[in-house]
């Protein structure tokens, strides 16, 4: 086929394809890179889930999940994290419309709910350790503390990150770099909630039901 004919047959009003528009905006590239990181983080959690699933019956005569887990605490933790994911979403809406007060309000609510989740989790852990259910008691408890503790560590880092971001918003305002970091933070926070969905189902609900 003649090249000139091929060019003539291309309709002129179609937008150029992705490959013809040049490099993507930095916001897209940064968020995509962070998306890849989150997926690798989820794969790390998958390894911890797998080790937990393999070791869940290895209680070595120690307490099992049915004796240790308090479903009311877990339900409150779940609601805290879910609503904090929602307020994080509302915060990103406020950021998109450059609404500073709404951003602070969303951040405060997200932080408070995340901190409530973390407080409940730390209380649950210290309660278990006080009853002799320490990580070194059995393989099941080692796997439990590794999996749930790793998620708790992520939540802690997320809370610190949120504080840092609010300082940056206060000092630098809504510059593109800060907006990109806030987008990454909201991705991180939503991904943590997705991991928690798997966690409360596999560890707390399946561990308690017969």
**List of residues 6+ apart from 185 with CB closer than 8 A:** 88, 158, 161, 162, 165
Distance CA 135, CA 121 (A): 15
List the interface residues with another protein, window 52-71 (CB under 8 A). Answer: 53-54, 71
Residue with Cβ nearer another protein (2 or 209)? 209
**Segment near another protein (CB under 8 A), from 129-137, 150-158, 164-172, 202-210?**
202-210
Contact (CB, 8 A) for 189 and 158: yes
Residue 2 CB, shortest distance to another protein, in Å, is 28
Reading the block at residue 173, the tokens are 């305002």
Residues in the chain: 210
16 binds another protein per the rule CB under 8 A: yes
User: What are the C-alpha distances in Å from 80 to residues 121, 188, 204?
Assistant: 11, 16, 16
For residue 128, give the nearest of 64, 72, 196, 76 by alpha carbon. 64
Residue with Cβ nearer another protein (119 or 201)? 201
Residue 197 CB, shortest distance to another protein, in Å, is 5
Question: Could you write out the three-class secondary structure of 87-118?
Answer: HHHHHHHHHHCCCHHHHHHHHHHHHHHHHHHH
| x/- track of binding to another protein for residues 153-172 (CB under 8 A) | --------------------
84 binds another protein per the rule CB under 8 A: no
Residue 130 CB, shortest distance to another protein, in Å, is 25
By the criterion CB under 8 A, which residues form the site for another protein?
15-18, 21, 24-25, 27-28, 30-32, 34-36, 39-40, 42-43, 46-47, 49-51, 53-54, 71, 75, 78-79, 82-83, 85-86, 89-90, 92-93, 96, 183, 186-187, 190-191, 193-194, 197-198, 200-202, 205-206, 208-210
């Amino acid at each position: 086929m003649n090249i000139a004919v091929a060019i003539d047959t291309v309709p002129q009003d179609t937008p150029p394809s992705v490959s013809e528009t040049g490099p993507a905006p930095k916001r897209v590239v940064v968020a995509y890179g962070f998306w890849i990181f989150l997926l690798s983080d989820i794969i790390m959690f998958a390894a911890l889930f797998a080790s937990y699933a393999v070791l869940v019956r290895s209680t070595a005569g120690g307490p099992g999940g049915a004796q240790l887990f308090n479903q009311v605490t877990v339900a409150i933790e779940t609601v805290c994290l879910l609503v904090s994911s929602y307020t994080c979403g509302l915060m990103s809406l406020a950021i998109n419309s450059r609404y500073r007060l709404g951003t602070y309000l969303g951040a405060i609510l997200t932080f408070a709910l995340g901190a409530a989740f973390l407080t409940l989790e730390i209380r649950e852990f210290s309660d278990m350790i006080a009853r002799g259910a320490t990580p070194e008691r059995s393989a099941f408890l080692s796997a439990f503390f590794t999996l749930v503790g790793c998620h708790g560590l992520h939540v802690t880092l997320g809370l610190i990150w949120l504080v840092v971001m609010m300082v940056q918003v206060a000092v630098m305002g809504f510059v593109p770099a800060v907006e990109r970091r806030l987008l990454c933070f909201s991705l991180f926070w939503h991904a943590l909630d997705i991991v928690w969905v798997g966690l409360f189902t596999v560890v707390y609900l399946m561990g308690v039901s017969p």
